[in-house]
Structure 1
Amino acid sequence: MARVLQISASYYPALKIGGPITAVHNLNKILVQKGLDLTVYTTNAHIDGPITLNNQTSVDGVNVTYFDFSTALDFMGNTGWQYSPSLKKALIENIAKYDVIHIIGLWSYPPLIALRLANKYKIPVIISAHGSLKPEHFATKHFKKSIYYNMLLKKQFKKTVFMQYFTQDEALDTQSFFKLNSKYIVIPNGINILPENEQIVNQHTGYINLLYLGRIHPVKGIEFLVAVLDGLKRININVKLKIVGTGDTEYLNSLKLLVVESDLTDRIEFLGFFDGEKKDRILKNSNVFVLPSYNEAFSMSILEAMSYKLPVIISDKCYFPEVEKNNAGVVLHHDVGLWLKAIELIVNDPEAFNKMSSDAYVFVKNNYDIHQISLKYLECFNYLASN
């Protein structure tokens, strides 16, 4: 089986970044269990608390080395571009030992230096951009990213063997926008699916708990949910919203103030960051998941919610039309009136709600089981190593 070196700027337990960190680590655990010889090189960016630096350590069975990084380039961001001389030194010494280099993300130093060295030594590369090359994301900080891409990445991309995308739409949009001729494969994120007999049955009881679970950031559109809850209150639809997550402190404080000013403190509750058993409990005690994001790459929270039999109401900017096609939820524009109608329908039609709840679980189980997803990665790694 192929020897794979995975490179990312941040890695588990950097949970404050959001769902992708956990998704990558969960996948890696399964890959190692299936026999893949996998090593992770990363930095200690976004990790609170002590951690072993510059020496390999086992994280749930995955061999990980966290390298320190310089703060000399803080002007490029709050973690200084993750510029790490120690990571570069380790790559120069060891990269030739691996059959495949798997790069996670792009807009930081570790992926860049790994890509350069892999191309220098003619080692096959697969890049998982995690939505960072989507035209909508590239438009954010467009000036900086354009310079960075054209000066540092474009030449390297011409040599890159493989790209990995979450969806076919992401693949087509990215390949066209950047005029890439790279081969690519579409592999979505996967999640651990609990057996159905371990699930609490999400039955309509006449009272609906809405759940937002994710990073607290303006791009997530949480203030839109406040407007929706205000509208529901005005038409006497009695639902509550629980907001679970951490992130942008200034934005969070503005949301709390907005809730107070809207007189919705009895309907909207901020619970902070949940993980493990606490997250499991809140998912089991909720009825409907909501995500009005203005720009989403591939939301792990949507998958998690459906795996707990929660119908999902999401924006069209989540780029997940399959949700509605499979009766797992509703996909809507950012129109408060449309969201009010969707929630009102769920409240008033228990039969439709229960069917959607069941269909959500079937959809995610059939398409996003992490054990099945891992087999696609193994096949891809072995193909690259043998070619």
Structure 2
Amino acid sequence: MKIALVCPASLPATQFGGIVFLAVDLAREISELGHDVTIYTTDLDFSNGSNKFNRELPRLEKIKKFKINRTHVWFSFKLFFVNSSMSKQIEDDKPDIIHTIGLRSYQSIVAWRASKKLKIPLVASDQGGLTTHPFFNESDLLLKMLYRIQNFFIKKIIDDATAISAANEYEKEIFSNLNGRSKIEIIRNGINLETLVSKIDFKEKYQINSRFVLFVGRFSKSKGIENLINALNIIKNEEKFLDVHLVIMGVDFGYEQKMEELIKKFDLSENITVIKNPPREDVISAYGESEF
């Protein structure tokens, strides 16, 4: 079977988070079963943010048994990346089925339209963007208009999808509120055990000499980093928490400056380590050594 996975970002842009890893994991596992799998995406590159697009990235790259087809983004607003030539790539390749990941994206609209034009099944997944988008709390008029347009297309995509894959009960409830039909299935995200090996001594590398609590994710207000910093400020002088450190690992999605200002305001620079653009191996090592 010829399968198209469509998403707003893929390798090497690991800073984009769960969408990237879900698409790559699906592509790897499905291609191992003998299917012809291609990820259709943008040319977002690895950086401390979400706006570095690189024409030098391979347009078509084979990784193990699957392919990544990248098309250039000629316009972007926040996390809405427009790569209009992707539509022709999908239609020319004529897949048997399309799976779109990340519904609050231009790419999901392209996937929806391509599935209707080619008259093939459409599977939809999200990964949290429906209600926890990094820029939801901003009051910019253009952003509010964009969300209204997105919501219109999201409803269309969900209504027309052959199947909807939700990662958990919470996400299933969100989809159910948009479409009450019983085509929503919970398929929990898997873990690639091959990646859970690291030779890095995390504490030694980052000179951390105590227990630590770990946050890994985008530096975005919607991720609740502010709550962690406020909580640490409240307990920092309690005897049983004197040796507890907070490690924040990730990339900037509009909140890095405010986060650093908050750390400085509470005089927590000795209690918090911020690691920007962390290598994947360091993240894995941090998971293994953290208390929570």
Partner of 2:25: 26
Q: For 1:29-72, what per-residue CA distance to the aligned partner results, in whole angstroms no more than 9, with x for missing partners? A: 2222232221121111355553012xx2213432111011322x
Contact in 2 for aligned 1:7/1:41 (Cα 8 Å): yes
Question: Residue 286 in 1 paired to residue 283 in 2?
Answer: no
Query: What does residue range 1-387 of structure 1 map to in structure 2 within 5 Å?
Result: 2-47=1-46, 48=52, 50-53=56-59, 56-71=60-75, 74=76, 77-78=77-78, 81-95=80-94, 98-134=95-131, 140=136, 144-150=146-152, 152-155=153-156, 157-175=158-176, 177-181=177-181, 183-193=183-193, 208-236=211-239, 237-238=241-242, 239-248=244-253, 251-288=255-292
In 1, Cα distance between the equivalents of 2:18 and 2:261?
Answer: 26
TM-score, scaled relative to structure 2:
0.79
1:41 partner letter: Y
How many residues end up aligned between the 2 structures? 269
Following the alignment from structure 1 to structure 2, what is the Cα–Cα distance between the partners of residues 57 and 196?
24
Maintained 8 Å contact 1:23/1:191:
no
How far apart in 1 are the matches of 2:135 and 2:256? 24
Q: Partner of 1:214: helix, strand, or coil?
A: strand
> What displacement does 1:234 show?
2.4
State how far apart, in whole Å, the 2-side matches of 1:125 and 1:252 are. Answer: 36
Q: Deviations over 1:18-39 (max 9, x none)?
A: 2331232133222222322211
- Gap runs ≥5 in structure 1: 201-206, 289-387
Counterpart contact for 1:162–1:182, Cα < 8 Å: no
Residues 154, 277 of structure 1: alpha-carbon distance in 2 compared, 3 angstrom cutoff: closer
Shift of 1:14: 1.4
Q: CA deviation at 1:8?
A: 1.4
Deviations 1:107-136 (A, max 9, x none): 3332212212212332111111223345x6
Q: 1:58 to 1:285 in 2, by over 3 A?
A: same
Offset at 1:260?
2.7
Query: Which has the higher Rg, Structure 1 or Structure 2?
Result: 1
Equivalent position of 2:203 in the other structure: none
Q: Using a 3 Å threshold, how does the CA distance of structure 1 residues 182 and 154 change in structure 2: closer, same or farther? A: farther
Q: Is the Cα contact below 8 Å between 1:163 and 1:182 reproduced in 2?
A: no
CA distance in structure 1 between the aligned counterparts of 2:135 and 2:195, rounded to whole angstroms:
41
| SS, match of residue 10 in structure 1 | coil
Q: CA deviation at 1:9?
A: 2.0
Distance verdict in 2 for CA 1:127–1:270, change over 3 Å: same
TM-score by length of 1: 0.61
Cα gap change, 1:46/1:180 in structure 2, threshold over 3 Å: closer, same or farther?
A: farther
Closer/same/farther in 2, CA of residues 259 and 26 from structure 1, 3 Å limit: same
Shift of 1:146: 3.2
Gaps in structure 2 of 5+ consecutive residues: 47-51, 137-142, 201-209
Task: State the distance in 1 between where 2:247 and 2:61 align.
Answer: 37
Determine the C-alpha separation between the residues in 2 that align with 1:93 and 1:280: 39
More strand by share: 2
Deviation, 1:198, is 9.4
In the superposition, relative to structure 1, how do residues 86 and 273 fare at CA in structure 2: closer, same or farther (>3 Å)? same
The alpha-carbon deviation at position 142 of structure 1 amounts to 6.0
Change (3 A) 1:119 1:92: same
Tell whether the 8 Å contact from 2:7 to 2:19 is kept in structure 1 after alignment.
Answer: no
Query: Hey, what's the Cα distance between the residues in 2 that align with 1:89 and 1:195?
Result: 34
Write the letter of the residue equivalent to 1:171: K
Compute the displacement of 1:161 (Å). 1.1
